[in-house]
Amino acid sequence: MGLLAGGGKNCELYVLKTANLGKFNATDSQVVQKEQICSSSIRGGPVYWQRSAANGGPVLYNWASDTLKAYPFSGTVFATSPSAQGSATQIWPGGILTLSANGDQHGSGVLWATVATSGNANDDPPVPGALHAFSAENVSQELWNSATNATRDNFGYFAKFVPPLVANGKVYVATSSDLLAVYGLVLTVAPRILAFGSETTNLASAPMSITVTNTGTVALPITSITLSGTNPGQFSQTHTCGTSVAVGSTCTITVVFKPMSAGAKSAALRVDVGGGAKTVALTGTGT
């Protein structure tokens, strides 16, 4: 059954059948669900994260002039109350939302929101704004905002109804300050290439190390460290990173190359950190 979700100025969320929208019906008897999800109009949402049941199930997010809220989806209807919500209310027009995630991978989802921080963005723009990042698995947990280190991160004036864009590990924010603000991870991974050279098949190489450094102002959650690419099974890794890297701290990833057959081998080691990632190229030759 194809479904469509959306809402408007009365702040009611509708779930409709795409094959039977129903035309005008004064009683809305054709809708699958109608639910009040905020106290003012829906403006910068909703956005939706399609997750498998094993990873928590799908969820919809909205942030009007009240609090940021997350509503689980059963496959047919949304929950009648949020599974999580933020603590801060927001002035008009609320949070303009974008979701980034590595598919439905646990711990990878980040909900981004641009907001007006003061003034009257409706009648007297431009007004100052800010970018916020929340855990998409628990929106009561704020990960970062651009006011934490305003000297470095402030983007200036808020652009109405323009959601952030997330691509290739960076967040792009259009502004009313005649500039485009670009945010990236305050994380360094070095070196970016590990070349093991020639190693005898079925024998482990000497270990090589990668250093991960948090150069930012907040702890960075380590959501996963994985091997992928052409020959991930020819390499193995261990690390000291735990679940996060504290401000100004480092951790170490140790990689070993054990070729199972002759010839050139390659893989990529990926460090996922709160919605972004860094990769290290791995190469070696089995002899």
Residues 135-161, buried b or exposed e (16+ Cβ, 10 A)? bbbebeebbbbbeeeeeebbbebbbbe
* Structure confidence at residue 163 as a pLDDT band (50, 70, 90): very high
What pLDDT is recorded for position 37?
Answer: 92
Q: Which domains does the chain have, with CATH numbers?
A: 3-184 (2.130.10.10), 187-286 (2.60.40.10)
**Distance in angstroms (rounded) separating the CA atoms of residues 46 and 50:** 13
Summarize pLDDT for 65-99 with one digit per residue, the tens.
899 999 999 999 999 999 999 988 899 999 999 99
What pLDDT is recorded for position 29?
Answer: 86
Summarize pLDDT for 219-234 with one digit per residue, the tens.
888 888 999 999 999 9
Task: For residues 158-186, give the mean pLDDT.
Answer: 92
Q: What Cα–Cα distance (Å) separates residue 3 from each residue in 33, 45, 54, 208?
A: 11, 17, 22, 51
Please say if the pLDDT value at position 275 is more than 70. Answer: no
Greater model confidence, 281 or 186: 281
Token code pair at residue 11:
């702040």
Summarize pLDDT for 134-147 with one digit per residue, the tens.
989 999 988 889 99
